[in-house]
Amino acid sequence: MDTNLVVEGIKFMVLGMGSVFLFLIIMIFFMNIMSVIIHKFFPEPRPVIPGEKKAQDNRKVVAAITAAIIHHRQG
């Protein structure tokens, strides 16, 4: 019974590392599929660009700032 332990160790190392590598490849594949599905049904909201606000919104902001300044100056 002449078994080379180094060769057996290398076989187990390759088997273990190969199974971990295969698992990681499968996990990345399914995470990409999940990401596509989630972005399809739950898209990210479109960011609001300051130049695209309505004039009425700006008036409300200006009125609130003006009222805050007047209140601050009165004490």
Print pLDDT tens along the chain (75 aa).
Answer: 567 999 999 999 999 999 999 999 999 999 999 999 999 999 888 777 766 655 556 788 888 899 999 999 997
Query: Which pTM value belongs to this model?
Result: 0.53
CA-CA distance, 10 to 40, in Å (whole number)? 45
The domain locations on the chain are 5-74
Q: Which residue has 């606000």 as its token pair?
A: 53
CA angle, 32 then 34 then 47, to 5°: 90
What pLDDT, on the 0 to 100 scale, is given for residue 2?
67
What pLDDT, on the 0 to 100 scale, is given for residue 26?
98
